[in-house]
Amino acid sequence: MSHTVPNQYRSEAARTLRDLPKVRTSVTSATDNFNHNRLRAYGEIDTDRWRNWARDVKTHTLTNLDHYLEQAEKSLTANGVRVHWAHTSADALAAIREVVSEHDLKSAVKGKSMLSEELGVNAYLEGLGVHVREADLGEYIIQLLGEPPSHIVGPAIHKSLEDCQQLFHEKFGTPLDGDPDTLAQAAREALRAEFLAADLGITGGNFLAADTGTLALIENEGNIRLSTSLPRVHVAFVGIEKIVPRLEDLAGFVQLTTRAATGQPIGNYISLIQGPQHRDEVDGPEEVHVVFVDNGRTNLLADEEAWEALRCVRCGACLNICPVYRQTGGHPYGWAYSGPIGAIIAPGILGLKEAMPLPYASSLCGACADVCPVRIPIPELLLHWRERAVEEGLAPKTEELGLRAYTALAEHPQLFSIGGSLLRKLPWQRGGRALPVLSGWTQERDAPDPSSRSFQSMWKDGIK
Amino acid sequence: MRVSLFATCLGDQFYADACADAVRLLRYHDVQVDVPFGQTCCGQPAYNAGLRREAERMARHTADTFEDAEYVVLPSGSCAGMIRCFYGRLLSDDPRVKALTTRTYELSQFLVDVIGVTRLGSGLSGRRIAYHHSCHALRELGVRDAPLELLRGSGAEIIEWVAEEECCGFGGLFSAKLPEVSAGMADRKLETLPEVDMVTSTDGGCLLQLSTRAARRGDGPQFRHLASVLWEGLDQ
């Protein structure tokens, strides 16, 4: 339900910075908090060991993914869960359509799920006449505003308290200076009625243990707990990379994910879904469906380098630390997953051409790799996609030709030295600023003040 | 001890005085300095643009140029990082490259880790200095303490800066391709900058970005290259 596409990244980012300066303030302040909390939470455990363990378990699982997916299907089926396989987003949507029409479902509550954003579940179900209500507070806010999420973990991260006060004042009549608790209470009351009326609960899945068929969901608000226990049917969309081999692996992954995401030792609610309501149980849905979604993930898996991105646990730590993301929040990226992780999975899920220029939306500062709980080498993968863009003729032509010329020049020191002097003296004047790189530079900055002579000529004359 | 200085393309044209100060600093510590003719660019712009073959050519050219060097020292963390961390991947079959990567150092790293300098003088007494950790010096080379030790060892007071380890938004061509976002990143640095006499860093690219953005905004202190600041730190 993104309103733009990745190809518009530069103009959308520039527009956000120019027209919506409060977005930068809100995102910076919220991510500063996330970072501060993550740093503290990482400091409480032997994080390097945990991260190595998590990396190794995920790598092992991805290396044997066919085996674990088959095992998961068997376990889920034995638990009474109905398993669907979706190769594409259309397949995933067809799976939920079947469930909806089989049970004549009318009203859905949805726990926060980035995969459902990737698939466009809300718009699709609304098209079928099913009412869909986002039940996570942040998702609820942006649903009321008609906006896509701006962050993997904090979808309304780009909104300030004042924005929310204004919105809730208009929708629920809360005071314009209502504190966060007052606003949350208003949302809680509105959502409670939705939970009670819903016949379909939709979620994603943080992890799925292959040996026991256990679906693990992490949250803080209890909306996922309600979405998976009150409505009579529960549909979970689960990316095929979300498998872990054993139930006991969840203990480490759940804690590491929340520490990386929000700095919490564990989420307020951890739901371990073991199937539909059993005969001796008093609550729970009549049916549970797991839709395993590929939607381009096997493209990533088949890539000798890019597969490492599939270890991602969607904690958002790389977004929080990313100085590029922090300028604009997630909307300019033009699809569900923003920030560094979004830029390295977009080429697999959307296709490289559609993902351009996201692999270039990074200064390669490397801060993301420092914080990733599963040690995805994000800068290397950004470079990998840039190399692929060159190979496939998708890289910007002026840049490519310019750098080829620069390389040829740099192999000839004398010419390079003349070229360097020209760069120093000439082009920063008015006319030169029309050149591609220089115009980009001087648009936002003053022209630099080059040295009066090159170091190499100083060296020739002798340095005292 | 003999050092071959790699001024870098940016240093040669935009930070020539700082390169000269790097020569002076090294000579002051009884290091014999040469500047091999033929040095041009480390290849990072091509590498970061995904032009692997061009980056390989530049790596080969640089390995040729510095083949006889005992040590290679750069007044840049970014270019030193390019050589140390990525040349091995580009030219894994070239034994000269392997030898080059292990004897290449960023200037402050060389002064502290190889020569063992801890104290320079008192030339920076009373100066309040903020240090910008360039991303590649910090994260690729692991250089965090060396420049601070040298600055303190020259009498400077290092002023804590909440964004000192955040990217300035330069990123080579990134700064020209996404100038609006890049400027926002520089603004974050400038907005959080405490009251100081100057900002210094080991990377000319970062200094160029921060100083020209500050000039456009009409704020900011002096931005000076670490080599020049340290040269000033000696009791001369």
User: In chain B, what percentage of residues exceed pLDDT 70?
Assistant: 100
DSSP state of B3: E
| Pairing between β-strand B198-201 and β-strand B71-74 as defined by DSSP bridges | unpaired
**How distant is the Cα of A404 from the closest Cα of chain B, in angstroms?**
7
* Closest residue on chain B to A463 (Cα): B20
B13 in reach of chain A (CB within 8 A): yes
Q: How many residues does chain A have?
A: 464
Which residues contact residue A156 at a Cβ distance below 8 angstroms, ignoring those fewer than 6 apart?
Answer: A137, A138, A139, A141, A142, A149, A150, A164
SS3 label, residue B210:
helix
From A390, A400, A451, residue closest to B15, measured CB to CB:
A451
Whole-number pLDDT of residue A337: 98
> What average pLDDT score do residues A86-95 get?
98
Mutation target to probe the A interface, by most A beta carbons within 10 A, among B13, B41, B90 is: B13
In a domain, B149, yes or no: yes
In a domain, B120, yes or no: no
Q: CATH 3.40.50.10420 residue ranges in chain A?
A: 22-157+200-297
Tokens 């649903």 correspond to: A143
CA distance B178 to B108: 31
Phi then psi for A360, rounded to 5 degrees? -95, -5
CA distance B170 to B182: 7
Cβ(B39)–Cβ(A417) below 8 Å: no
Test A323 with B188 for CB contact under 8 angstroms. yes
The average confidence (pLDDT) of chain A is: 95
Whole-number pLDDT of residue A179: 94
The pLDDT tens digits for A152-201 are 999 999 999 999 999 999 999 999 999 999 999 999 999 999 999 999 99
Cβ neighbours around B27 below 10 Å, total: 14
Vertex A77 angle, CA A74 and A79, to 5°: 110
In a domain, B122, yes or no: no
In a domain, B30, yes or no: yes
- A 394-433 residues inside an 8 A Cβ radius of B: 395-396, 399-400, 403-404, 406-407, 409-411, 413, 416, 420-421, 423-424
Cβ neighbours around B46 below 10 Å, total: 27
Shared-domain flag, residues B145 and B44? no
DSSP state of A120: T
Shared-domain flag, residues B107 and B172? no
**Which of the four pLDDT bands, split at 50, 70 and 90, describes residue A1?**
very low
More confident of the two residues A252 and B220? A252
In a domain, B212, yes or no: yes
Compute and round to an integer the Cα radius of gyration of chain B: 17
| pTM as predicted | 0.96
In this model, does residue B190 exceed pLDDT 80? yes
Test B183 with A444 for CB contact under 8 angstroms. yes
**Dihedral, CA atoms, B82, B83, B88, B89, nearest 10 degrees?**
20
**Dihedral, CA atoms, A337, A343, A349, A350, nearest 10 degrees?**
100
What is the Cβ-side half-sphere exposure of residue A174, based on CA atoms within 13 angstroms? 23
Tokens 């330069």 correspond to: B170
Nearest to A73 by CA among A290, A301, A294, A313: A290
CA distance B23 to B228: 10
In this model, does residue A235 exceed pLDDT 80? yes
**Which of the four pLDDT bands, split at 50, 70 and 90, describes residue A430?**
low
What architecture is the A22-157+200-297 domain classified under in CATH?
A: 3-Layer(aba) Sandwich (3.40)
CA distance B46 to B48: 6
In a domain, B59, yes or no: yes
The pLDDT tens digits for B20-40 are 999 999 999 999 999 999 999
The total number of structural domains in chain B stands at 2
Shared-domain flag, residues B110 and B145? no
> What average pLDDT score do residues A204-210 get?
98
SS3 label, residue B78:
helix
> What average pLDDT score do residues B85-110 get?
94
Beta bridge partners of A236: A203, A290
**How distant is the Cα of B168 from the closest Cα of chain A, in angstroms?**
9
From A390, A413, A453, residue closest to B40, measured CB to CB:
A413
In a domain, B123, yes or no: no
The pLDDT tens digits for A305-332 are 999 999 999 999 999 999 999 999 999 9
| Pairing between β-strand A131-134 and β-strand A107-110 as defined by DSSP bridges | parallel
Tokens 């099913």 correspond to: A130
CA distance A1 to A335: 8
Instruction: Record the tokens describing residue B207, joined without a space.
Output: 């200094």
In this model, does residue A425 exceed pLDDT 80? no
Cβ neighbours around A131 below 10 Å, total: 15
CA distance A32 to A258: 16
**How distant is the Cα of A301 from the closest Cα of chain B, in angstroms?**
21
Tokens 């995904």 correspond to: B50
In this model, does residue A412 exceed pLDDT 70? yes
Shared-domain flag, residues B159 and B218? yes
In a domain, B15, yes or no: yes
Test A416 with B40 for CB contact under 8 angstroms. yes
Domain C-terminal end among B67, B92, B115: B115
> What average pLDDT score do residues A333-343 get?
98
Domain C-terminal end among B67, B86, B115: B115
- Which range marks the domain in which residue B100 is found? 2-115
Cβ(A451)–Cβ(A428) below 8 Å: no
Domain C-terminal end among B115, B140, B167: B115
More confident of the two residues A427 and B167? B167
